[in-house]
Amino acid sequence: MTYEQIKKNEAIRTYIMQADASLAALGYTEHSFAHVGRVAEMTGYILKTLEKSDRIVELGKIAGFLHDIGNLVNRVDHSQSGAIMAFRLLDRMDFSPDEISLIVTAIGNHDEGTGVPVNELAAALILADKSDVRRSRVRTKYVADFDIHDRVNYSVTKSELTINEAHTVVELKLEVDTQFSPVLDYFAIFTNRMLLCRSAAETLGLQFKLTINEQQLG
């Protein structure tokens, strides 16, 4: 079973759409195919760049695509709900226990509230997920109605996660339009995410760096 097959699975696509619809009703930013697709590709990029096996790269992309389906159940503890849902789906698709274990563990540990980068797949997923900050995720139509999450995401005009050629540093580079949100707001809501990214980078044998508007901040 491949990532492309998972992407086309009707049941999985329905769960992702309905999970995103629930988050939209709660006022959250976009968590639909744009987000999970980007996270899947970035997880794959991280693992491939670090020269992991082709199958591990594929499993990372699958984990990225499935990582937010738990929002279908509830936003609270959605990583654990998503892990249980993924287990059932993958088991029915005849994935091996070894592969199910890696994917489910990564999904169950991707959220900054309870997640820990317990293995390389989980670490790559964490970095991919937490780096997806961008203007197009904001649903609120009017700037006057933005909450702090809307302001921060809307202010990010460019987001790029890269690993250097020596495979020693993973860097998140952001361009922030401060007329919509000061840089301080980013840290007000994302500090725990960045600390989790640092831990994830260390699991992969990397140093995590954060650069905002060409200023290295961590």
Distance of alpha carbon 218 from alpha carbon 208, whole angstroms: 7
Give 72-130 pLDDT, tens digit per residue: 999 999 999 999 999 999 999 999 999 999 999 999 999 998 999 999 999 999 999 99
Give 154-189 pLDDT, tens digit per residue: 999 999 999 999 999 999 999 999 999 999 999 988
Please tell me what DSSP assigns to residue 210: E
| 201 Cβ contact list (under 8 Å, min separation 6) | 123, 127, 170, 207, 208
Mean pLDDT of the chain: 96
Give 13-33 pLDDT, tens digit per residue: 999 999 999 999 999 999 999
